[in-house]
Structure 1
Amino acid sequence: MTTSTETSYLGALEPGNGVLVGGEWRAGSVGVFDVENPATREIVAEVADGGTKDATAAVDAAVAALPEWSAQAPRARSDLLVKVRELMLRDVEELAALMALENGKSLADARGEVSYAAEFFRWYAEEAVRPNGDFGSSPAGGTRTIVTHKPVGVAALVTPWNFPAAMATRKIAPALAAGCTVVLKPASETPLTVLAIARLIAEAGVPDGVVNVVPGEDAAAIVSTWLTDPRVRKISFTGSTGVGRILLRQAADRIVNTSMELGGNAPFVVTASADIEAAIEGAMVAKFRNGGQACTAANRFYVHADVAEEFTSRLGAAVEALRVGPADEGSDIGPLISAKAYAGVSKVVDEAVAAGAEIAHRADVPESEGYFYPPTVVTGVPADSPLVREEIFGPVAPIVVWDDAEELLATVNDTEYGLAAYVYGEMGEALHLAERIDAGMVGVNRGLVSDPAAPFGGVKQSGIGREGARAGLEEYLETQYLSVAW
């Protein structure tokens, strides 16, 4: 049930007027859509349903705000980003409760996400005032070359439901630091957190029109409107590889600057030399954070034969000890996001069991109307099973036993994805394996790779570009060089 605090915070958001254009909160041109709590299936809010009319109005506002915002001194933009971070940390409990309400994740996960999300504003406040350019003589002489950078312009940001705060701030903060204005489409499953952050951005003093938000159920219509608008010069999307392919085709028509953070199928490798206790601790974070609903989640476990029995037994004990339930009951693991997600995870596990795999360990789940899937360890999984070939996006840990490093690497790299990976072992051995894994990010003896100061992104069909670090700012800048007669 929704608490009085959550009800009060929700009411202050006025989600029925959840379209933000040019500093004005308004109703959606399509109507409203429901937001469901996946732990109870309770409808917790009716949110403004924006459409193509709202999408175009948002671009109008972003274009109007661009000249003044891009001309602001970097220090002025930096100070505003610092203020946004302070406001997010002030409201950490309210934001966490709101996120748990619409997403279902545990309060511990939600609080951690708010702190992580706020950190992007601090990082890019610092990056905003660090100029990056070049100056020098041309090789032929007689001229000087000046290299500078300019904001891309209006940026369209499209965010997913699994990390509604962090995926928004990871895009908004560098865009604003670079001097861009933005139009943002949050996931229809979890729009409330973004609406709350947008209000904090306004409270911090960011000018009207710099950040515009269009929630809506018809994502294709909204995003297509932006991609076909010649005034939009950038799209940053986080979501599935399938949708990413569609957006890339659309972006190609106008050669729009693109950043894509797409699907993953992260391997978690445990060598014979691994510290098993550390590996279990890392596995619990890499696999079960946010209920396994993360693109960086450990999707398939490759454990050396010499330690497979010990690792499986200890991981199983840790999984069985997990508390599954609604966020307000102090749970470790919440529900999956929807009935569709629950059916998808159930299907791939059931098919693996029917093909000979075994459910070795499972946590208990509450009797509930919610979409609670039990955290599960599966053994006897062939290396070519769909359970390890497909992204599970749920709290399921399939274990494959290995004993030959070359065969292991061939198997690990035999996928279209290359976002994240994890390796546990003696440092020299672990680093040797990590460098040969086709992934944009590898956690070596740790189960978490996300950091605002590090370049987040993948290779192969896991994406294009990077978020975080200096690279994240450069995604919103265009390079310009001036050839000066000397």
Structure 2
Amino acid sequence: MFPKNQLDSIFVEEDQIPEEFKLSEEVHQREYLSNGEMHTWSGEVHEVLSPVCIRTETGLQRKLIGTYPLCSEKEADAALQAAVKAYDNGRGEWPTMSVADRIYCVEQFTHRIIEKKAVVVKLLMWEIGKSYADSLKEFDRTVEYIYATIDALKDLDRQSSKFSIEQGIVAQIRRSPLGVVLCMGPFNYPLNETFTTLIPALIMGNTLLFKPPKHGTLLHYPLLEAFRDCFPKGVVNTIYGRGNKIIPDLMKSGQVNVLTLIGSSKVANELKKLHPKVNRLRAILGLDAKNAAIITSKADVKLAVQETVLGALSFNGQRCTALKIIFIHSSLAEGFLEELSAEVAKLKIGMPWEQGVALTPLPEPHKPAYLKECIADALANGARVVNAHGGESCESFVYPAVVYPVDKNMKLYTEEQFGPVIPVVPFNDLEEPIQYLIDSTHGQQVSIFSNDDEEVAALIDPLVNQVSRVNINCQCQRGPDVFPFTGRKDSAEGTLSVVDALRSFSIRSLVATKLNDSNKHLINEIVDSNSSNFLSTKYLF
């Protein structure tokens, strides 16, 4: 355990960083991919400062990792026109390409990015402060997701390789692309969650505008040449710059067919309103969440504590699926808080490269001040910080705070803290947490902790109509990736999973004709000659 008021001891001097985890050099990106070419940028750039602070003679300073372009509306529009041209109203090379050929391109791309694993993982660690072990997991999970997507598309295409005959009409039903996709990922999983939308959008034949997240930008730079080399010209285009400057005009143009964003519901709402024909815009969104745990009087307290620590503090609580408010039955509150505080104290704090580290610095510069404000608001309204050192901070690091008793008068009751603060709410009647979920603007997931089958059953039925996933005696989570991932209310739009994402970024299309001798001959000629990529009975292996 660290000495009181000595959190700054976790930060080290430059020469104390292990050699294998040092960046060989700063990454000063001066290129962006647009219309199949790497363009050189000579304008304004953004400095990327790591959440990892370095001890210097003048105090702690965030380490400079590098810089990236801050392009203007002009470059963003050029990228949009490249994507529009590559799609060419559905007549472009990519949207009309066979499924087998698109899969081949994605496979080649995957081989190329695996070669960049070491540098991407290291940048992931330095840019957002994610532990090296978890950064490795994020990269590996992303590759696994790509291969799972390929397998799912093969299955989907096999099912579509046959003809259906109904009421004298013969038809073949397949999925076709939607158009130009604007893809914006989150900072907390800047590789994995970005690719869980980007890859299915791409493999289904859409063309892309890809804006990396503000935190977690540089790690995509080593992948740009693979995008350029593995896909036709203009299919993948990157846009850099301040989102509030370059994104509005893209939406106003009406040329974006799909908006995929993992981030704020407020931002998503504002962007959708800018589109001149919202009915033509498909949105696939992963948004805010305030996932609750409900620990009943019949719960296993030890298990609830273990899952709460994992659910609330994995990657410092910076996950949309994190447990962000805990409802505990009053009869168990004292013991739960004692055990929870003890388990939090066992978590290792430190730098991302340290083995076994659980709590690391936060990438958002404003986050420590915001969390301090939330805790102060709770204290002013009658709560207390239960655990030793809870809420103490030093530069980019904030030590987890268990705050109790939280009520509806406090920010922590409704606002998504997205950080290492665990609000705990006592209750006596199960109607209280149920009503919380009904009143909440969020509707992603909930965790129920109880060993009573009748009690759990009574909770399941109302809660599945409030959230998209009910977890029993375990934390909220996204995986496995084959399971649907979505939310109600302001938490999501559209569904993501390996299979659902393919459907989300495409639409069912069919070719149909009356079943007579002339049309039979016509269809057989097309199929036998392999002259159509859509009307085909080829079977993918």
User: Cα deviations across residues 338-381 of structure 1 (Å, max 9, x unaligned)?
Assistant: 3312211110111101111010014589985x311111111122
Read off the aligned partner of 1:287 and give its amino acid letter: A
- What is the aligned partner in structure 2 of residue 115 from structure 1? 140
Instruction: Report the Cα distance in structure 2 between the residues aligned to 1:91 and 1:473, rounded to whole angstroms.
Output: 26
Tell whether the 8 Å contact from 1:259 to 1:466 is kept in structure 2 after alignment: yes
- What is the aligned partner in structure 2 of residue 171 from structure 1? 197
Tell whether the 8 Å contact from 2:312 to 2:322 is kept in structure 1 after alignment: yes
- What is the aligned partner in structure 1 of residue 407 from structure 2? 382
Which of 498, 505, 518 aligns to 1:469? It is 498
Between 23-32 and 328-337, report the one with greater CA deviation: 23-32
Tell whether the 8 Å contact from 2:254 to 2:275 is kept in structure 1 after alignment: no
Closer, same or farther: CA 366–105 of 1 in aligned 2, 3 Å = farther
CA offset at residue 83 of structure 1? 4.5
1:32-431 correspondence runs (5 A): 32-40=45-53, 41-66=62-87, 67-89=92-114, 91-129=116-154, 130-131=156-157, 133=160, 136=164, 141-144=167-170, 146-202=172-228, 205-216=230-241, 218-251=242-275, 253-254=277-278, 255-330=280-355, 331-362=357-388, 370-426=395-451, 428=453, 429-430=455-456
SS at match of 1:156: strand
Instruction: Report the Cα distance in structure 2 between the residues aligned to 1:90 and 1:269, rounded to whole angstroms.
Output: 44
Closer, same or farther: CA 189–70 of 1 in aligned 2, 3 Å = same
Instruction: Report the Cα distance in structure 2 between the residues aligned to 1:227 and 1:327, rounded to whole angstroms.
Output: 38
CA offset at residue 233 of structure 1? 1.4
SS at match of 1:247: helix
CA offset at residue 290 of structure 1? 1.6
Tell whether the 8 Å contact from 1:95 to 1:193 is kept in structure 2 after alignment: yes
SS at match of 1:215: coil
- What is the aligned partner in structure 2 of residue 8 from structure 1? 24
User: Cα deviations across residues 176-215 of structure 1 (Å, max 9, x unaligned)?
Assistant: 2211121111122221122234445456x33443222112
Instruction: Report the Cα distance in structure 2 between the residues aligned to 1:30 and 1:265, rounded to whole angstroms.
Output: 40
Read off the aligned partner of 2:23 and give its amino acid letter: T
Read off the aligned partner of 1:27 and give its amino acid letter: T
Instruction: Report the Cα distance in structure 1 between the residues aligned to 2:211 and 2:317, rounded to whole angstroms.
Output: 24
CA offset at residue 230 of structure 1? 4.0
Closer, same or farther: CA 79–449 of 1 in aligned 2, 3 Å = farther
CA offset at residue 252 of structure 1? 5.5
Instruction: Report the Cα distance in structure 1 between the residues aligned to 2:235 and 2:485, rounded to whole angstroms.
Output: 25
Instruction: Report the Cα distance in structure 2 between the residues aligned to 1:332 and 1:287, rounded to whole angstroms.
Output: 12
Tell whether the 8 Å contact from 1:160 to 1:167 is kept in structure 2 after alignment: yes
Instruction: Report the Cα distance in structure 2 between the residues aligned to 1:51 and 1:434, rounded to whole angstroms.
Output: 50
CA offset at residue 461 of structure 1? 1.2
Tell whether the 8 Å contact from 1:324 to 1:365 is kept in structure 2 after alignment: no
Tell whether the 8 Å contact from 1:65 to 1:209 is kept in structure 2 after alignment: yes
After TM superposition, the score normalised by the length of structure 1 is 0.90
CA offset at residue 246 of structure 1? 0.3
Instruction: Report the Cα distance in structure 2 between the residues aligned to 1:50 and 1:122, rounded to whole angstroms.
Output: 33
Instruction: Report the Cα distance in structure 2 between the residues aligned to 1:199 and 1:271, rounded to whole angstroms.
Output: 53
User: Cα deviations across residues 76-131 of structure 1 (Å, max 9, x unaligned)?
Assistant: 33244345445555544432221121111222332222222222211211122222
Instruction: Report the Cα distance in structure 1 between the residues aligned to 2:116 and 2:344, rounded to whole angstroms.
Output: 32
Tell whether the 8 Å contact from 2:93 to 2:232 is kept in structure 1 after alignment: no
Instruction: Report the Cα distance in structure 1 between the residues aligned to 2:110 and 2:339, rounded to whole angstroms.
Output: 39
Structure 2, unaligned stretches of length 5 or more? 1-13, 54-61, 516-541
CA offset at residue 149 of structure 1? 1.9
Instruction: Report the Cα distance in structure 2 between the residues aligned to 1:427 and 1:211, rounded to whole angstroms.
Output: 52
- What is the aligned partner in structure 1 of residue 468 from structure 2? 440
CA offset at residue 285 of structure 1? 2.0
Closer, same or farther: CA 309–79 of 1 in aligned 2, 3 Å = farther
Read off the aligned partner of 1:450 and give its amino acid letter: R
Question: Percent same amino acid among aligned pairs?
Answer: 24
Read off the aligned partner of 1:16 and give its amino acid letter: R
- What is the aligned partner in structure 2 of residue 26 from structure 1? 39
Instruction: Name the larger-Rg structure.
Output: 2
Tell whether the 8 Å contact from 1:159 to 1:185 is kept in structure 2 after alignment: yes
CA offset at residue 396 of structure 1? 0.5
Tell whether the 8 Å contact from 2:393 to 2:399 is kept in structure 1 after alignment: no
Instruction: Report the Cα distance in structure 1 between the residues aligned to 2:452 and 2:511, rounded to whole angstroms.
Output: 47
Instruction: Report the Cα distance in structure 1 between the residues aligned to 2:195 and 2:391, rounded to whole angstroms.
Output: 33
Does 2:515 correspond to 1:478? no
SS at match of 1:400: strand
Instruction: Report the Cα distance in structure 2 between the residues aligned to 1:441 and 1:145, rounded to whole angstroms.
Output: 36
Between 111-120 and 311-320, report the one with greater CA deviation: 111-120
CA offset at residue 47 of structure 1? 0.5
User: Cα deviations across residues 149-175 of structure 1 (Å, max 9, x unaligned)?
Assistant: 211122110122121111211111101
Tell whether the 8 Å contact from 2:392 to 2:399 is kept in structure 1 after alignment: no
Tell whether the 8 Å contact from 1:104 to 1:334 is kept in structure 2 after alignment: yes
SS at match of 2:294: strand
Which of 444, 449, 470 aligns to 2:477? It is 449
After TM superposition, the score normalised by the length of structure 2 is 0.81
Structure 1, unaligned stretches of length 5 or more? none
SS at match of 1:37: strand
Instruction: Report the Cα distance in structure 2 between the residues aligned to 1:445 and 1:326, rounded to whole angstroms.
Output: 31
Closer, same or farther: CA 15–430 of 1 in aligned 2, 3 Å = farther
Instruction: Report the Cα distance in structure 2 between the residues aligned to 1:362 and 1:394, rounded to whole angstroms.
Output: 18
